[in-house]
Amino acid sequence: MAKKRVAVLFGGASKDHDVSLRSAYSVLRGLSKANYDVIPIGITKAGRWLYFPGAYSAVANGEWESDSDCCSAVLSPDPLHGGIIKLMGDEESQGMNDYSLHRIDAVFSVLHGKYGECGQIQALCKLSGIGYVGSDFSAANACSDKMLSRLILDKAGIKTAKYYYLERVDIDGVEDKFAEIEAAIGYPMYVKAASCSTSIGANSAKNRDELKAGIKIAFSHHHKIIIEEALYGAELECAVWGSVYALSVSAVAEIRETEPISSKYVLKSPEVFIPADIDENTRKEIEKSSKTAFLALGCKNFARVCFKLTDRGLYCRKVGNMSGFTEDNIFSRLMEKSGYGYSELLDLLIDSAKET
């Protein structure tokens, strides 16, 4: 059987650039050389696309873009090309014979955060007529936009935390809204940029001064923000994969912190327990809610669904259409419990790319 040619996209012009490099290193090493011809395409923090032919270890440590053998490369939007165009030589010397076309069967994007998770790359792949790992551009946007995802999940009957929504046009009169926000949410609360990864532009607020500072920081990352109530309880996650007609759900993982929560909305040094120590009714509710959320948001291929189990019940925190892809990531560990070793997981995701 002929090898599949897979383009792995990594890096990106976002604050999650370094996280993406770690994921890409795992994916590049995990893809079987017997089954795949891999085309590594790195995107610098400045947004430049480069074909990288060097050792994968240079991806992990960030030295890849200094490799002298890198050359400019773009994903052609023309479906007739169906692949990557490499541009050789410097810009002044490039002529009609200074490029080469490399057809590909699938794009495996491990671009995290802004530009990677919110639909742009997925839309480009769709325009190019090339299969890609993960959900389509509309579902990617719905998952990454914290406001939009909550509206959809609420409509689907899935409980989410109480929230308050602001746009940058509100910033001049935001102090007039403090009393309304405090009445609606109550301290402590979390202030988050609406369309960034969880840890970017996010802070906790225990009083009005911290609320004001958190809003300013969040608006520096995105033009929309949400202010969300703090939920206390067990942190639970599961993986969903498959098609609309045959969805599978993994065991449930519990994430426990080994340090107190800092002022940042980040879990420090978590311990992961699979399966989680929960009762059968809770497990069934998570399984049902995960499938409902997956379908309501229009996800395809796979998603990671995060919950908080509080004394008021189960709340959905997030549906992620882009997971970290290191071997020890929670998603990878959940899939391993479901019978998919790391290389087998990559095979499963690439096989699903043709259906996107």
106 compared with 257, residue with greater pLDDT: 106
Residue 354 lies in a domain: no
pLDDT at 337 over 70: yes
Look at residue 348 and tell me if it is in a domain.
no
Of 199, 229, 259, the residue at which a domain comes to its end is 229
Segment 227-244 shows an average pLDDT of 94
Are residues 278 and 155 located together in one domain of the fold?
Answer: yes
Better pLDDT: 324 or 158 = 158
Q: Are residues 245 and 124 both part of a single domain?
A: no
pLDDT of residue 263: 41
Q: Is residue 326 part of a domain?
A: no
- Whether 353 maps to a domain, the answer reads no
Question: Between residues 237 and 15, which one has the greater pLDDT?
Answer: 237
Output the pLDDT for position 261: 45
Distance CA 42, CA 59 (A): 9
- Residue scoring higher pLDDT (36 or 14): 36
Residues 6+ apart with CB under 8 A from 266: 198, 199, 202
Handedness of CA 241, 153, 132, 21 (dihedral sign): negative
224 and 242 in a single domain? The answer is no
pLDDT of residue 114: 78
Q: How far apart are CA 273 and CA 262, in angstroms?
A: 22
Q: Is 338 part of any domain?
A: no
Are 11 and 118 within one domain?
yes
Residue 99: pLDDT band (50, 70, 90) is confident
Q: 50 and 194: one domain? A: no
pLDDT in tens, 221-230: 888 999 999 9
* Beta-strand pair 253-256/49-51: unpaired
Rounded CA separation 17/302 (Å):
22
Question: Can you give the CATH number for the domain in which 178 is found?
Answer: 3.30.1490.20
Give pLDDT, residue 205: 96
Q: Is the pLDDT of residue 321 over 90?
A: no
Regarding whether 66 and 30 lie in a shared domain, the answer is yes
For residue 125, give the CATH number of its domain. 3.40.50.20
Residue 63 has pLDDT above 80, yes or no: yes
In this prediction, residue 265 carries a pLDDT of: 40
**Distance of alpha carbon 96 from the chain centroid:** 38
Percent of the chain whose predicted confidence (pLDDT) is above 70:
92
| Residues 66-81 pLDDT 10s | 999 999 999 999 999 9
Tokens coding 337:
């419990």
- Residue 110 pLDDT exceeds 70: yes
Mean pLDDT of the residues in the chain:
90
Does the pTM exceed 0.75?
yes
215 and 272 part of one domain: no
Read off the pLDDT of residues 139-154 as tens digits, 9 standing for 90 and up.
999 999 999 999 999 9
pLDDT band at 353 (very low <50, low <70, confident <90, very high): confident
Strand 4-11, strand 36-43: pairing: parallel
In a domain? residue 113: yes
Q: What is the pLDDT of residue 324?
A: 78
pLDDT tens-digit map of 120-141: 999 999 999 999 999 999 999 9
298 and 315 part of one domain:
yes
Q: Are residues 225 and 235 in the same domain?
A: no
CATH code of the domain containing 301: 3.30.470.20
Q: Please give the average per-residue pLDDT across 91-95, as a whole number.
A: 51
Same domain, yes or no, for 92 and 10? yes
60 domain residue, yes or no:
yes
Domain-ending residue, one of 178, 211, 229: 229
66 and 21 housed in the same domain: yes
> Looking at 229, 259, 284, which one is the last position of a domain?
229
Domain count along the chain:
3
For 172-223, what is each residue's pLDDT tens digit?
A: 888 899 999 999 999 999 999 887 666 677 899 999 999 999 999 999 888 8
Which domain, by its residues, includes 75? Answer: 4-133
For residue 328, tell me if it sits in a domain. no
Residue 45 shares a structural domain with residue 103: yes
